[in-house]
A = this chain, B = another copy of it.
Amino acid sequence: MTPTIKDVAAHAGFSIATVSRAINAPHTVNPITLDKVRQSIDALNFRPSPLGRQLRGERTRLIGVVLPTLANPVFAECLQGIDDLASAQGYRLMLMTTQYDVDRERHAIETLREHRVEGLILTVADADTHPLLDQLDRDGLLYVLMHNDTVRRPSVSVDNRLAAYDGVRRLIAHGHRRILMLAGSFAASDRARQRHLGYTQAMQQAGLTPAPALEVDFNAEELAPSVLAHLTHGANRPTALFCSNDLLAMVVMRGLRRARLSIPQDMSILGFDGLAMGELLSPALASICAPNREIGCAAWQRLLARIGGAREDRGFAATSLALTLPHSVREGATITALASQVDLDRASPAYGLAAPAATEKPFA
């Protein structure tokens, strides 16, 4: 069906070797021959199969990409960054998603290895303790992590601890004293743990008491009553929430609204990721921004450099491991400066009921 190099050779009246040379080293073949061969190639619409080349021991020019999910735009943005560069440079991407499941991570890596990818770009649940990554190191299969925040392995990310620290300090500077951190599953994210460290440090440094992160179910339609209770009741209810990622922040914002709390008057919100979409919210989401697309690009470049390096000089591969890209804090209308204490108890009894779109503001 698809023409092979043989068909071209027969059509042009030369050997397959000559056809191969006409493609890969045109200058070594007689211009007249070259012309004929090219005509045959066009006539048959022939494109050399990468399979043959790959099997011949050539480079596969295949890169494996392993991501937790595409439902979170953070990873879609990274992927877009990788694809832009990789495509332009003649590499193909093989994509697998893991849904934060370690078994699926294992399966993805194995599958991609079978396909003889030249390298891997991945975001895993927990980079430090990942046995498969050790295996990759042993086997000399090159990889670069994205977002995983570890100094032990080749990676590209922001300094999650520092970024969280900066963000929480901003909240403190705005007068907030009782700040709570919300996170999805800690188990699924070494980033979240780093961010909690930053939160803790900022709090302690300001003489405030950090709290354990409150775990929130991402996918639930409503905030769990237990969570909501934490946010609204009691003497130590927070005035600001630091959410370990933007998607979580948005879910929390919706939950708070349903509980008749207005943002930022009743509660300030700070996210993490810097999703473009956050700026389209109202109020616009304040967030600690990671340059997601650039992280993808940088991961690609590092991987390419390592691949290139490995081909010439195997020694220097391990020189620089973690690349830290600068983060920024995006101010947004979800944070308010605290003029006075806010009485949240007034609003809380209504949670769980349908709430009107407009919420009353306790002061203004």
Cβ-neighbour of A280 out of B60, B95, B97, B250 (below 8 A): B250
Q: Which of A26-76 contact B (CB under 8 A)?
A: 47-52, 54-55, 60, 69-71, 73, 76
Cβ-neighbour of A73 out of B76, B110, B139 (below 8 A): B76
Chain B CB within 8 A of A21 CB: no
Residues of B within 8 A of A115 (CB): 50-51, 92
Judging by beta carbons under 8 Å apart, are B50 and A114 in contact?
yes
The CB with the most chain B CB atoms within 10 A, among A1, A79, A95, A139, is that of A95
Judging by beta carbons under 8 Å apart, are A80 and B92 in contact?
no
Judging by beta carbons under 8 Å apart, are B54 and A51 in contact?
yes
Judging by beta carbons under 8 Å apart, are B114 and A96 in contact?
no
Closest residue on chain B to residue A114 by CB atoms: B47
Judging by beta carbons under 8 Å apart, are B96 and A87 in contact?
yes
CA distance in complex: A357, B283 (Å): 7
Whole-angstrom distance between the Cβ of A295 and the nearest chain B Cβ: 14
Judging by beta carbons under 8 Å apart, are B47 and A55 in contact?
no
Judging by beta carbons under 8 Å apart, are A95 and B93 in contact?
yes
Judging by beta carbons under 8 Å apart, are A282 and B280 in contact?
no
CA distance in complex: A113, B110 (Å): 25
Residues of B within 8 A of A281 (CB): 280-282
Q: Which of A253-299 contact B (CB under 8 A)?
A: 253-254, 257, 276-277, 279-283
Chain B CB within 8 A of A2 CB: yes
Chain B CB within 8 A of A140 CB: yes
**Contact-size category for A:** 35 or more
Residues of B within 8 A of A51 (CB): 51, 54-55, 60, 115-116
Chain B CB within 8 A of A77 CB: yes
Cβ-neighbour of A70 out of B1, B47, B76, B333 (below 8 A): B76
CA distance in complex: A113, B47 (Å): 9
Chain B CB within 8 A of A151 CB: no
Chain B CB within 8 A of A83 CB: yes
CA distance in complex: A87, B98 (Å): 10
CA distance in complex: A223, B29 (Å): 57
Closest residue on chain B to residue A280 by CB atoms: B250
Whole-angstrom distance between the Cβ of A297 and the nearest chain B Cβ: 14
CA distance in complex: A133, B280 (Å): 37
Cβ-neighbour of A55 out of B52, B69, B94, B357 (below 8 A): B52
Q: List 25 A-B contacts (CB under 8 A).
A: A47-B113, A47-B114, A49-B114, A50-B115, A51-B54, A51-B60, A70-B70, A70-B80, A71-B77, A71-B80, A83-B97, A84-B97, A92-B111, A93-B96, A95-B95, A250-B277, A250-B280, A253-B280, A254-B279, A257-B282, A277-B277, A280-B281, A281-B282, A282-B283, A333-B357
Given contacts A70-B83, A254-B279, 6 further A-B contacts (CB under 8 A): A1-B139, A47-B114, A70-B76, A71-B76, A93-B95, A282-B357
Q: Closest 6 CB pairs between A and B?
A: A250-B280, A70-B76, A76-B76, A70-B80, A47-B114, A333-B357
